[in-house]
Structure 1
Amino acid sequence: MHSIALRLNPQQDLKAELDYIVRQRTIEAACILTCVGSLSKATLRLANQSQPSIYKGRFEIVSLTGVMSRHGSHYHIAMADKTGQTIGGHLLEGCLIYTTAEIVIGVLPNFSFKREFDEATGYNELVVYGSGE
């Protein structure tokens, strides 16, 4: 594994920038190792909901996790408001950086992550190609 470290700036879209990085660098498989930062707007899909939920304010990113590939990525985020109340869900485009997002990505050179339709779930799900050996 090798890593990529980066910082996003105010008003950049968190998901759009992450997806751009994997496309630009033609990354086949990677994961989020860590992320700290803040958002001024968050667009999430909450559990078992079909429509996005939009939050405006000042939020600390307390966790970001995900698998990444130029073939499609999947991220979940947890964020806290000024009282420390935390909410999390599926990261969608429309999450705007407030002050910063400091991110480290782990690139997995022996794998390829693809998204293929899964009849059991009705969604395009992760299929892993390659091995860690």
Structure 2
Amino acid sequence: MPLLPLRLPPGADLREALEEATRQPGVGSAFVVSGIGSLTQARLRFAQADVETVIEGPLEILSLSGSLAENGVHLHMAVSRADGSVLGGHVGHGCAIRTTAEVLLALLPDWQLTRAHDAETGYQELVAMPRPPKRG
């Protein structure tokens, strides 16, 4: 399984940068294996919440994980404040990198990850399908 290490610079939007990475040639579907760094602010949607909460920094990214499908991402993150308190949830747009973010992606060239509406959950859920073999 090929790996892609990324370093995201100050000011970058964490989620947007990862969405952009999936649009690069040869990337497509991937899972976030690891992510650390710092943020000036985070936008997280907590469990069963309908809206995102803005958390002002400085913040440390303690963990970042999720799936990067070709038509959407599903990311979760835990961040800590300067006092050590920790918050976590679903990552929204607007998580601004403070000094850096270091992310390791596991690329899935033999798989196509997409998201499709699931009638049972009401959400866009992951659909994983093997890619058809390339014809030479």
Range with greater deviation from structure 2 (115-124 or 20-29): 20-29
8 A contact 2:72–2:114 mirrored in 1? yes
8 A contact 2:70–2:112 mirrored in 1? no
> What per-residue deviation string (whole Å, max 9, x for no partner) do you get for residues 32-91 of structure 1?
111110000101111100011001121110000001122211100000011211100000
For the structure 1 residues 9 and 28, does the alpha-carbon distance in structure 2 shift closer, same or farther, using more than 3 Å as the test? closer
Q: What is the RMSD computed on CA atoms of the aligned residues?
A: 1.3
Q: What are the equivalent positions in structure 2 for 1:10-49 lying under 5 Å apart?
A: 10-25=10-25, 27-49=27-49
> How many residues were matched structurally?
131
Rounded to whole Å, the distance in 2 between the matches of 1:25 and 1:123 is 28
Gaps of 5+ in 2: 132-136
Give 1:78's aligned amino acid.
A
Gaps of 5+ in 1: none
Q: Helix, strand or coil for the counterpart of 2:23?
A: helix
Rounded to whole Å, the distance in 2 between the matches of 1:25 and 1:66 is 20
Match of 1:60 in 2: 60
Q: Helix, strand or coil for the counterpart of 2:18?
A: helix
Match of 1:94 in 2: 94
Range with greater deviation from structure 2 (9-18 or 66-75): 66-75
CA offset at residue 6 of structure 1?
1.4
> What per-residue deviation string (whole Å, max 9, x for no partner) do you get for residues 1-38 of structure 1?
10111111111100000001101236332111111100
Q: What are the equivalent positions in structure 2 for 1:69-84 lying under 5 Å apart?
A: 69-84=69-84
Work out whether 1:116 is the aligned partner of 2:84.
no
> What per-residue deviation string (whole Å, max 9, x for no partner) do you get for residues 92-129 of structure 1?
00000001001111101221111111100111110110
Give 2:60's aligned amino acid.
E
Q: TM-score, normalised by structure 2?
A: 0.91
Rounded to whole Å, the distance in 2 between the matches of 1:27 and 1:84 is 35
Give 1:35's aligned amino acid.
G
